Amino acid sequence: MTNGVSTERSILEVEAGGAVVEGVGSLAAVVLAILGIVGLVPVYMASVAAIVIGAALLAQATAIAGEYTRLLSHVSGGTLGAVELGTGMTAEFVIGGSAITLGILSLVGIHPLVLLPCAVIAIGAALVLTSGTTTRLNDLKLEAAEAGALAQSISRAAVSGATGVQVLAGLAAAVLGIIALVSIDPLQLTLVGLLVGGAASALSATALSGKMLQGLQRVGSRH
């Protein structure tokens, strides 16, 4: 029993760490975008911000994948595995890697005014596509904990509000990226899109890390 609790705690520590990394990275991207908006080497700031947000998306995907698999195994008695993770986390892996690649290419001077808006569009799409992942994860947590009807209602309402904000932020970032592609001043719109995407990613990471830290506290109390 002690070994089981220790293993679960180790898994949760890794998952919470991934969510914290995402939050810190997203906040760093927000700061970089603001510095670019005020005129401090904007192309470099936008490129690095895109790389950081891409890395944050990868960190979140890793954290959610581990938690999702653990909960699916618990709820289904071990009959479900990673196949059921869904498109949300796959999108985060693919788009996170794409944002990093586009950011690096822009950083070395390869068509930054085209690639950076494309990175913003990709980040916005990732926020929209992954908005349901947190909801599904929350439902699995409630099922695993066998929470009461009132607790389920409150938890789902809170997650629904956060999901709505993430969807709106993702759409806003994608629209800003599209406008930047056809604008005569694409860099400012790109930086604003990165600011919006970074802020939404930071909020998502804060909610996710909070849930995982609660899980660590429960495991610690059982131990």
171-175 average pLDDT score: 95
What pTM value is reported for the model?
0.76
**Structure confidence at residue 201 (pLDDT):** 82
Give 54 or 160, the one with higher predicted confidence.
54
H helices within 77-185, ranges in order?
87-107, 112-129, 131-145, 149-182
Whether 141 has a pLDDT exceeding 80, the answer reads no
- Return mean pLDDT, the chain: 75
Give 178 or 184, the one with higher predicted confidence.
178
Percent of the chain with pLDDT over 70: 58
**Structure confidence at residue 149 (pLDDT):** 56
**Structure confidence at residue 150 (pLDDT):** 47
Residues 74-95 have pLDDT tens digits of 555 544 444 444 555 677 788 8
**CA dist 26 → 116, 123, 202 (Å):** 17, 12, 5
The DSSP letter of residue 40 is: S
Give 141 or 170, the one with higher predicted confidence.
170
Whether 37 has a pLDDT exceeding 90, the answer reads yes
132-141 average pLDDT score: 63
Whether 167 has a pLDDT exceeding 70, the answer reads yes
Whether 49 has a pLDDT exceeding 80, the answer reads yes
**Structure confidence at residue 77 (pLDDT):** 54
Cα-Cα end-to-end distance for the chain? 9
For 68-101, b where at least 16 C-beta lie within 10 A, e where not — what string?
bbbbbebeeeeebeeeebeebbebbbbbbbbbbb
**Four-residue CA torsion sign, 172, 174, 168, 70:** negative
124 contacts 64 by C-beta, under 8 angstroms: no
Q: How confident is the model at residue 165 (pLDDT cuts 50, 70, 90)?
A: confident
